[in-house]
Every structure is written in structure tokens, then in C-alpha cells.
Amino acid sequence: MKLTVKHGDKISELQLKKGENLLKILHKNGIFITAYCGGKGICKKCLVKFLDNPPKPFEHEKATLKEKIDQGYRLACLHSLENEAIIEIEEVKPVFAQIEAEPCCDNDKSHIALDIGTTTIAIAYIEKGKIEKTLNMLNPQIAYGSDVITRIAYSNEGGFKTLHKTINNIIKKLISDFKKPDSMIACANPTMLSFFLGFNPKSIGEYPYTPPFKGSFKGKFDDIKLYVPPVISAFVGSDITSALSILPENQNFIFIDIGTNCEFILKIGENYYSSSVPAGPALEGVNIDYGSIAQDGAIYKVSLENGFKVYTINNKKPTGIAGSGLVSAISLLRKHGIIDKSGKIVKPWEAEAPFSLINRIKKEGFMLAEGVYLTQNSIRNFQLVKASINTGLKLLLDRKGAPEPEKVFIGGGFSRTLTKEEITGSGLLSFGDEFVMLGNSSIKGGVRLFCEEERNKIEKIAKKIEYIEIANENRFEDLYIKSMDFDA
């Protein structure tokens, strides 16, 4: 059976089996569309236009797409194709990523540093010791599950080759934007690395949770020399060890890398401990209502100075909420009592807050901008993330008998613009005195590892890191539930 896809000025003809899901067919064949909710039919981003004979719309689709239904639009993730079709799509393009990093190689060669996140992929192109360009893009594997566990489940059900092909296709496409580099570094969690390198990640998803390989990896990708910094455990990978290159060696700290999974590195004296907890993609702007990855128009900060104000990337018309915008808005609304301690948005008559905030409480949620709302559902998703992080941290510190560290390094693309007030005011972290926002620490560290000296340094430290399993501790659930509240 044939599917014809018009994308830009290109036409592709894809072969498919009757009953295959449209979003998955596209992504499997290297044609990428936005799918923030991972195919749950919620984000309304995976729009395709059927040029003839559109499938019958679902009730939910009729309600959300309204007049677009008669024009042939449908949500790709909801439809399995029973007949041949011709569709038109808007292909997703990588966007400029703000990553301030300092490579330490000063040779004439060109390199690529990759950060393959569960939700977003970032790439930095380095030439003659300088970063020439950085790009960001949604990981198209999201069509097969929004976190590593659901992707491993899909892989175990026969989807391994599809996931391997999907990630390799998008990386080849991203690299093709540049002159062929001399070498590459790939930073990612062990599951993403496995799909990228072609190792089956089955063992990561089942007890005793082991990665297909530990330590560093050297090989080739598409004929380009490839280095992967060391993998420590099933959930602590080269995205964490690469960050060791930008963390201090002479002081105690806790480093928290917040992504779809959240990893910790605790340094006490000469000892390093690592751990991880699942967090979900809310802080990457995914799986929340009106969410957006960091791209033009995404709200990354809010404030109350001469009235309510939102800040968007590149000052463009607000189109959605980035992870940092979510933290910033929750912090401000908590401060003024618009969100109560249980996480509920109060009724306008219950609020004792400036009028410029009260009049934004609507039935959809808190109106951040025309057509963009912070909804109750998004706040709940944030509470799940904050509960997971705070519980994980507490258990790790308890296990090592360590005091709450004063110095906290925070990694994750979303963290770049956050302030201490926003971190503590939103409850994202319930302790800490001095916060250092690293932004995308994985790629920032990765760009330094083209030098032998830095590589040796992190390889040496990585050998000392002890992994502490906490997610299965008995106390986890109790503490997690308690940590959902904002005053926990």
C-alpha cells in the first residue's frame, strides 16, 4: 500500500502495511512532524492534511480541529491507514539553540557534539576551536513513547529496528546541514545511546537494570570518528559524565541534570556518587498543555512589574510555554497565592493578589497570553516532576549521610534563564543556597572532550563514581506523595 507525502517542495512515496499508524510511518521514514504529547492526541501539533478521501474524524478531533476537519486536516497520531492516501505536511525543522559553551580544542579540525535527549536533540558544530552553530530539535522517537521505559517496551515488542533507524535518520539529517566533520562526540542516557549505536536496551528495562555496555565507546558513525564518554549505569550515561568536564574538582557539590530522566552527581571530598529518578518531559515543554520546546515564541519567563508580563524567545508572539516558563509562572503564582499549597488554581474571589493576576484566572487555567494557558493539568505534571526530584535527592543524601549541600549545579537546557527565586519559589528544589545554572551541561561538557587531556580527566573521575539505586527504596513512594505539596 502506498502513502504519498508532500513536504515543502518534495514528494515522497512510502510503502506501508494496512493499519499502520500515520505518525509512526512518517517518523520511521525520516519525515518528521511535531508530536509533543508522544501520540496521545492531546497537543494537536501532529497536523496533516489529506488531499483526498480523508479518514473519518474522531469526536475529540472534531471538537479540537473544528472547521479544519472539512479542509481535510487530521491528527496523524490518531489515525491508522486503511487505504492509500495523499497527504501534505509541514516538516519540523531544527531551531537555533542558545548554548554558550567553550570548546578547548584549538586545532584546524571540525567536530560535532551531540546531546541525544529522550525529548530533545541538540547539536553543536565546532570549527577551528569555535562553536559555529547550535541547533535543537524534538526527538522524533517521541512518537513511540515519551520516556525511556515506554520506548524500551516498544522496542521489546519488535520496534527496536524502527527506533534505531528513527534516531539515526534524524542525526544524519542534522549533520547534513554542515560540512562533514572529522569527529563526533555523542552524549546521551544509556537507552538513547543504545538505540543510536544499535545495541538492544532490553536489559535497561528489567531487573537488575544493566546497560548493554559500560565505560566509554569508540567507533564510527556514518564514517565519522565517534567517541562516547563513559556510561556508569543503566540510567547514568555519557550526558552526565561529559558534564564532569565543566564541574569543579576541588569542592563538594551536587549536580542535578534535569531532563526526562533526572540524574544526580554528589561529590563529597574525593568520592563521587550518582543516582537517577524518572522526571517526565514537562520541563522540556512537552506533555503539558500549550507546551513548547525552546523555540521562537515560547514563553521562558514571567514577571509582575507594572502589570503582568511574559518574555518569549526572540521576543516573538507567545505561542507556547517552555519548561523555564512553566517554573517561572508557577513560582510567581505561588508567591501571590493564585496557586495554593496543594497545587490548585484558586477561584478569582478566593485570591488575595494584584488585580492584574486575578483577572487572568479563566476557566481554562491562568491566562499567560492570548490563547496560552497555564492549566491545572500542567501544574499537576510539574508537581510530579518536583516530587520525583526532591524525593530522589533526599534519599541520596540520606544514604550517604550527607548534609543538604549549599552549592547546587543545575543542568538541562531549560535551566539557563532560571533564577534562585524561581527554583525555590516553584518548589523545584526545596533546599540549596547557591545555584549555578549550567543550561545544557551535556553538550557544554561534550564540546570540551575533543581534547585528549579533558577526555582523560573525565574517564578517570567516571571510574570513581559509585551508582546508588534509590528509585526502588521502600520510602520512595511515601516521600514522593508528601513532596507533591508546594510547602513540603
| Residue numbers at the binding site for ligand FES (CB under 6 A) | 35-37, 39-46, 75, 77
> 318: which residues sit within 8 A by CB, 6+ positions away?
297, 299, 310, 312, 368, 369, 370, 371, 372
**Residue (26 or 313) nearer to ligand FES, CB:** 26
DSSP 132-168: EEEEEEE-GGGGG-SSHHHHHHHIIIIIHHHHHHHHH
Dist. CA 69–CA 122, nearest whole Å: 34
Dist. CA 117–CA 99, nearest whole Å: 15
**Residue (33 or 393) nearer to ligand FES, CB:** 33
CA distances from 313 to 329, 417, 436, 443 (A): 15, 11, 21, 20
Dist. CA 112–CA 133, nearest whole Å: 10
**Residue (78 or 175) nearer to ligand FES, CB:** 78
Q: Least CB distance from residue 76 to ligand FES, whole Å?
A: 6
Q: Which residue has the cell 488554581?
A: 345
**Residue (38 or 427) nearer to ligand FES, CB:** 38
Spatial contact of 473 and 480, defined as CB atoms under 8 Å apart? no
Q: Least CB distance from residue 136 to ligand FES, whole Å?
A: 18
CA distances from 109 to 131, 183, 457 (A): 12, 8, 22
**Cβ neighbours, 10 Å, residue 108:** 9
Q: Least CB distance from residue 285 to ligand FES, whole Å?
A: 13
Q: Least CB distance from residue 73 to ligand FES, whole Å?
A: 12
**Residue (32 or 308) nearer to ligand FES, CB:** 32
> 438: which residues sit within 8 A by CB, 6+ positions away?
243, 246, 409, 410, 411, 415, 444
**Residue (74 or 334) nearer to ligand FES, CB:** 74
Q: Least CB distance from residue 64 to ligand FES, whole Å?
A: 9
Nearest position to ligand FES, beta carbon? 77
Q: Least CB distance from residue 11 to ligand FES, whole Å?
A: 23
| Strand ordering across the sheet containing 261-268 | 434-439, 407-411, 253-258, 261-268, 271-278, 465-467
Q: Least CB distance from residue 456 to ligand FES, whole Å?
A: 43
Sign of the alpha-carbon torsion through 192, 249, 412, 281: positive
Task: List alpha helices for 176-322, DSSP H.
Answer: 190-197, 238-241
**Residue (77 or 357) nearer to ligand FES, CB:** 77
**Residue (194 or 381) nearer to ligand FES, CB:** 381
**Cβ neighbours, 10 Å, residue 476:** 17
Q: Least CB distance from residue 41 to ligand FES, whole Å?
A: 5
**Residue (21 or 483) nearer to ligand FES, CB:** 21
Q: Least CB distance from residue 448 to ligand FES, whole Å?
A: 36
Q: Least CB distance from residue 38 to ligand FES, whole Å?
A: 6
Packing angle, helices 376-400 and 323-335, rounded to 10: 90
**Residue (38 or 103) nearer to ligand FES, CB:** 38
